[in-house]
Amino acid sequence: MILYLPLTAVMQTLLPMLSFDNTENAFAYKTDKELRKSKFLFKLINNNLLVKIGTRLTPIAFKLHLPIKAVVKSTIFNHFCGGETLNETLSVIDKLAMFNVGTILDYGVEGKQSDEDFDFAVEEFIKAIKFSGGNKNIPFLSLKITGIARLKLLEKIATEKTLTDSETVEWNRVKGRMHRICKNALENGKSMMIDAEETWIQKPVDDLVEEMSRFYNKEHAVVYNTIQHYRHDRLAFLKTSLQKAKSGNYLLAVKLVRGAYMEKERARAKKMNYSSPINADKTATDIDYNAGVKFCLKNINSISFCVASHNEASNMLTAKFLLEQQLSPNHPNVHFSQLFGMSDHITFNLAKAGFNVTKYLPYGPVKEVVPYLMRRAQENTSVSGQMGRELNLLKKELTRRNN
Ligand SMILES: Cc1cc2nc3c(=O)[nH]c(=O)nc-3n(C[C@H](O)[C@H](O)[C@H](O)COP(=O)(O)OP(=O)(O)OC[C@H]3O[C@@H](n4cnc5c(N)ncnc54)[C@H](O)[C@@H]3O)c2cc1C
Ligand 1 centre to CA of 336 (Å) is 14
Q: Is the dihedral of CA 171, 177, 179, 181 positive or negative?
A: negative
CATH assignment, 7-30+82-363: 3.20.20.220
DSSP states along 130-184: HHHTT-TT--EEEE-GGGTS-HHHHHHHHTTPPPPHHHHHHHHHHHHHHHHHHHH
Ligand 1 centre to CA of 318 (Å) is 16
Nearest CA to ligand 1 atom 34: 258
Ligand 1 is surrounded, with C-beta below 6 A, by 195-196, 226, 228, 230, 257-262, 278-279, 281-282, 285, 308-311, 337-339, 360
The minimum-distance atom of ligand 1 relative to the CA of 226 is 8
Nearest CA to ligand 1 atom 36: 282
Nearest to 181 by CA among 153, 135, 139, 142: 142
pTM of the model: 0.94
Instruction: Give pLDDT tens digits for 127-162.
Output: 999 999 999 999 999 999 999 999 999 999 999 999
Instruction: Give pLDDT tens digits for 20-66.
Output: 999 999 999 999 999 999 999 888 887 777 778 878 888 888 888 88
Sites in the chain below the pLDDT cut of 50: 1-5
DSSP, collapsed to helix, strand or coil, labels residue 311 as: coil
Nearest to 278 by CA among 292, 296, 264: 264
Q: What is the DSSP letter of 77?
A: I
Instruction: Give pLDDT tens digits for 60-97.
Output: 888 888 878 888 898 899 999 999 999 999 999 999 99
Ligand 1 centre to CA of 385 (Å) is 13
Nearest to 212 by CA among 243, 188, 245: 245
Q: Are 321 and 11 in contact (CB under 8 A)?
A: no
Domain boundaries, the chain: 7-30+82-363
How many whole angstroms separate alpha carbon 254 and alpha carbon 299? 12
Residue 9 pLDDT? 60
DSSP states along 225-279: EEEETTBTTHHHHHHHHHHHHHHHT--EEEEEE--S-HHHHHHHHHHTT---SB-
Residue 81 pLDDT? 96
Ligand 1 centre to CA of 367 (Å) is 25
Ligand 1 centre to CA of 289 (Å) is 10
Ligand 1 centre to CA of 344 (Å) is 17
Ligand 1 centre to CA of 260 (Å) is 5
Residues pairing with 307 in the sheet: 256, 336
Residue 109 pLDDT? 80
Ligand 1 centre to CA of 372 (Å) is 15
* Mutational test site, ligand 1, from 258, 316, 358, 379, max ligand atoms within 8 Å of CB: 258
Helix (H) or strand (E) holding 336: strand 334-339
The minimum-distance atom of ligand 1 relative to the CA of 104 is 1
The minimum-distance atom of ligand 1 relative to the CA of 229 is 47
